[in-house]
Structure 1
Amino acid sequence: MDKPTVLIVDDEPVNLSILTSLLSSDYRVRAVNSGHQALRAAASEPRPDLILLDVVMPGMDGYDVLEVLRAQPDTRDIPVIFLTALSDTVDEERGLECGARDYITKPIKPSILLARVRSQIDIKQAREFLQSKNAYLEAEIARRMADNEMAQQVSIRALAHLAETRDPETGNHILRTQVYVRLLAEQLRSHPRFRAALPPPTIDLLAKSAPLHDIGKVGIPDSILLKPGPLTEAEWVIMKTHSRLGFDAIERTEADVKKPIPFLTLAKEIARWHHERWDGSGYPDGLAGEYIPLSARIMTVADVFDAMTSARIYKPALPMTQARDFIGDARGRHFDPDVTDAFLGNFQRFVSVARTHADPLTS
C-alpha cells in the first residue's frame, strides 16, 4: 500500500529538512518553500493527504494559502496543520476559523508532530472510507431500486396483458391510456386545485397504475366479454362487476404484503371507480364530484376517449373530433370540469398519441 503523502510548506530550508527527516520513514514527503509553490503542489499528483503549512512566509502567508485551498473543489478537503512560531491564542483561533485542522507551535516537538500528523491522516482515511462505503451503498440501493422498479413494471404489464388476452381487440389500449393519464396529470399539476395532490412522484405512480384499470375483466365470462353485439340488460349487470372484481383482486394482493404499496392504492381506486361519473350516475358505487378519487376521474377521461376512438368488432372508431366534442359536452356531468379542460387543452397531443400507437385494425 502506498504511503500517505504529506506536503510541507515552509520558507526556511532548515525547517524543511528537519520535518522531512522526521516524516520520511512513514510518509511520502513533498517539500516546497513558498505559498505559490504550495498551491501548485496541492493541485498536482500525488495529491497530498495532509499539508503542514507555515503561517509566516513572504508573499502569500499561510492564511492566504489556506483561503485559496478551501476555495478550490480539488483541494478544499485536504487537512491542513498550521506551523508557526506565533503563540498568541488569537493567531491560533484565526487559523482554526480559516479551516485549519490543527495548530502546532515552533519549536516543534517530534513526538507531538508525529502524533498529530498520524491523527489527521487517520481521520482523513476514515472519512474517505466512509465516503467510499456510502457511495457504494447509494449505488447498490439505486441498482436494487431499479431492479424492483423493473420487476414491478413487468408484473403490472403482465397482469394488464392477462386482461388483454381475454379481450384481444383492446390492442394498444393499455399503452395509450397510460400515456393519456400522464398527459392529463401533468397538465393538472399546474392547477391550484390539484397542485398538492399531483407532485411528480404521484404522477409516476398514476401512470404506473393505469394499466390495471380493467384487470377485473379476467373475471367476466367470455360469452359476455367477447360478445360481438350489444349486451342485454342482464349481461350488462355482469359486465359492470369488473370494476369491483379488479378492486378486490388488487386488495387481496395488498393483503399479502406487510406495508401499503402506494401504486396499488392508486390501482385500486382506478380499477373500482373509473366508471363513476361527476354527477353520480356512474357505477359501481354512484359516487359524485370530489368523492370520486382524482386518480379515477383522470382515468375516466383517458378511458372514454380511447374507447370512442378505437374500433371494435361491434362498432367502428369515431372521429377524434367527435370524441372530443362528446367529452366537452359532458363536462360537469360525466367528467370533472377541470379534468375535461385539461383534456381539451391537450387534445392535439392525445391525437398524436392515438396515431402513434394505433391498433392494426384502425391504422
Structure 2
Amino acid sequence: MKGQHQTTVLICDGAAERRHRTSAMLREQHDIDEAADGAALLRLARGLPRPDVIVLDAAVAEPFALVRQLKADPDTAGIPLLLAFDAVEAPALEARALAAGVADVLVYPFAAETLRARVARELRLREAQALLRHEVHLVDHLVAERTRTATQMADAVIWALATLAERRDSESPNHLHRIQHYVATLARHLQTQPRFAHELTDAHIELLFQAAPLHDIGKAAIPDAILQKPGRLTAEEFETVKLHTVYGRDAIDSVAQAAGSDSTFLRFAREITYSHHERFDGSGYPQGLAGDAIPVAARLLAVADVYDALISRRVYKPAFTHETAVELIRQGSGEHFDPDIVDAMLATEADFLAITQRFHDPH
C-alpha cells in the first residue's frame, strides 16, 4: 500500500547519511523507500506496489549491472531511473548512463529543487505515456474493422492526444479514470431502457468509455491565469472558459479531417466535448439545447463530471462528501440533468463510491 502520497520514490545509496538527506528532499511530495545496496534495490523494485521513480547512487556496487537487470525485467523496465554521481565522474559516466537506459543523471551536490524537478518531470512523462497507452486500446477496436481508414483514424486520435497531453492543466489523471468509469456505470444501467437502448449498446459503451477522457481537451487553449484562478471569475473570464467546448469540438473535427472519415467514436467524442455543459432545461451552453436534443453521451458525461467536480478539491473550493454530491445532483434532476440518468446514478451510488475510492486523488 502507498502511504499518504500517490507516488513512491526508491532511493538507493550505500552512504546512510546521504541517502537520508536525499530522502528528506522528496518526503513531502512522495512516499519514500530506501535501499542500502543492490540486493535491497532489486527486492523493493520488484515488489508491489512498485516504485514510480528510482534514484540510484553510482557508488553502489556494480551500478550498471543493476541498471541492466532492472531494464531486462518487464516488471521494472518502465520505471524511470535517475543516476547520481560525483562531478569528477560526470564526463566518464554520463554518456554511458544514458546509453544504458537511465532516464536522467544528477551530479552531487544537487539542490533539493533540482531533484524535485527531475522527479516531477519523469512522473509527468509517465502520466502522459499511461494516457496514451490507455487510448491505444482504441486501436485494437479500430484495427478489428480491418480497413486502412480505421487505422489512419486511430493514429490521428492518438496523435491529437499526444499533442494535447503536453498542455494539460493540473487536473489529476485520476479524474479522467473516474469519469470513464462513472459514464460506463451509468450507461450499463440504462442500456435496457427503451429510451436509451439504441444508443447504449455494448459496443457503444466501450467507445463512450474511451471517449470520456476527451471531454475537457479544449481547456488546453484556455489561459492558466483563468483556468487556475482561485477566486470567482469575472463575466468576461467565464465567457472565455465556456469556449473550451468549442475548442474541444474543433480538435475532434480536426482529427476526423486528418483521418479522412468520421466514426461512432469520433461522434461520441465530439458530442461529449461540445455539449457536456448543456442543461436539461435548456439553460446551458454553448447551444442552449434542452431535453433529448442534448446527445445521450453528453447527458451521461454531465452527471459524471459534476459529481466528480463536487467530490474533488479545487483551487476555489474544498471537496464535498459523496453524500452531499449525490444530494446536489438529485436536486438538479430535471433542471441541470436528465432525470433518468440521475435515477441511474442513485441506483448505482455504491458503484460511484467504489470508483472514487479506487481512483482517489493524493492529498
| Shorter-chain TM-score range | 0.5 to 0.7
**Map of 1:207 onto structure 2:** 209
How far is the alpha carbon of 1:196 from its aligned partner? 1.8
Residue 177 (1) aligns with residue 176 (2): no
How far is the alpha carbon of 1:169 from its aligned partner? 3.2
**Map of 2:144 onto structure 1:** 145
**Map of 2:195 onto structure 1:** 193
Flag the 1:283–1:196 CA change in 2: closer, same or farther, 3 A: same
Instruction: Write the distance in 1 (CA, Å) between the matches of 2:142 and 2:220.
Output: 34
Equivalent position to 2:358, from 344, 348, 356: 356
Q: Structure 2: which amino acid aligns with 1:244? A: V
How far is the alpha carbon of 1:167 from its aligned partner? 1.7
How far is the alpha carbon of 1:161 from its aligned partner? 8.9
Q: Would the aligned equivalents of 1:166 and 1:222 in 2 still touch at CA under 8 Å?
A: no
Residue 306 (1) aligns with residue 308 (2): yes
CA deviation map 1:314-355 (0-9, x unaligned): 211001100100111111111001011111101110011001
**Map of 1:252 onto structure 2:** 254
Instruction: Write the distance in 2 (CA, Å) between the matches of 1:248 and 1:155.
Output: 13
Q: Would the aligned equivalents of 1:160 and 1:212 in 2 still touch at CA under 8 Å?
A: no
SS of equivalent residue, structure 1 residue 263:
helix
Flag the 1:356–1:153 CA change in 2: closer, same or farther, 3 A: farther
SS of equivalent residue, structure 2 residue 200:
coil
Instruction: Write the distance in 2 (CA, Å) between the matches of 1:276 and 1:233.
Output: 18
Instruction: Write the distance in 1 (CA, Å) between the matches of 2:197 and 2:246.
Output: 29
Instruction: Write the distance in 2 (CA, Å) between the matches of 1:203 and 1:188.
Output: 11
Number of aligned residue pairs: 221
**Map of 2:272 onto structure 1:** 270
1:1-363 equivalent positions in 2, closer than 5 A = 144-145=143-144, 152=154, 159=161, 162=164, 165-361=167-363
Instruction: Write the distance in 1 (CA, Å) between the matches of 2:287 and 2:142.
Output: 42
How far is the alpha carbon of 1:229 from its aligned partner? 1.9
How far is the alpha carbon of 1:261 from its aligned partner? 2.0
Root-mean-square deviation (CA, aligned residues, Å) is: 2.8
Structure-2-length-normalised TM-score: 0.56
Flag the 1:258–1:143 CA change in 2: closer, same or farther, 3 A: closer
Flag the 1:257–1:169 CA change in 2: closer, same or farther, 3 A: closer
Instruction: Write the distance in 1 (CA, Å) between the matches of 2:286 and 2:272.
Output: 12
Flag the 1:195–1:157 CA change in 2: closer, same or farther, 3 A: farther
* Structure 1 unaligned spans of 5+: 1-140
CA deviation map 1:119-168 (0-9, x unaligned): xxxxxxxxxxxxxxxxxxxxxx999539989x949955972893585321
Paired-residue identity, %: 45
Instruction: Write the distance in 2 (CA, Å) between the matches of 1:258 and 1:165.
Output: 26
Flag the 1:244–1:143 CA change in 2: closer, same or farther, 3 A: closer
Instruction: Write the distance in 2 (CA, Å) between the matches of 1:183 and 1:323.
Output: 17
Instruction: Write the distance in 1 (CA, Å) between the matches of 2:258 and 2:155.
Output: 18
Flag the 1:240–1:158 CA change in 2: closer, same or farther, 3 A: same
Structure-1-length-normalised TM-score: 0.56
Instruction: Write the distance in 2 (CA, Å) between the matches of 1:212 and 1:160.
Output: 12
Instruction: Write the distance in 1 (CA, Å) between the matches of 2:331 and 2:311.
Output: 16
Instruction: Write the distance in 1 (CA, Å) between the matches of 2:334 and 2:303.
Output: 12
Flag the 1:191–1:164 CA change in 2: closer, same or farther, 3 A: farther
Mark the structure with the bigger radius of gyration: 1
Instruction: Write the distance in 2 (CA, Å) between the matches of 1:275 and 1:324.
Output: 18
Instruction: Write the distance in 2 (CA, Å) between the matches of 1:236 and 1:229.
Output: 12
Instruction: Write the distance in 1 (CA, Å) between the matches of 2:259 and 2:243.
Output: 26
SS of equivalent residue, structure 2 residue 171:
helix
SS of equivalent residue, structure 1 residue 277:
coil
CA deviation map 1:272-314 (0-9, x unaligned): 0000000001000100001000000000000000000001122
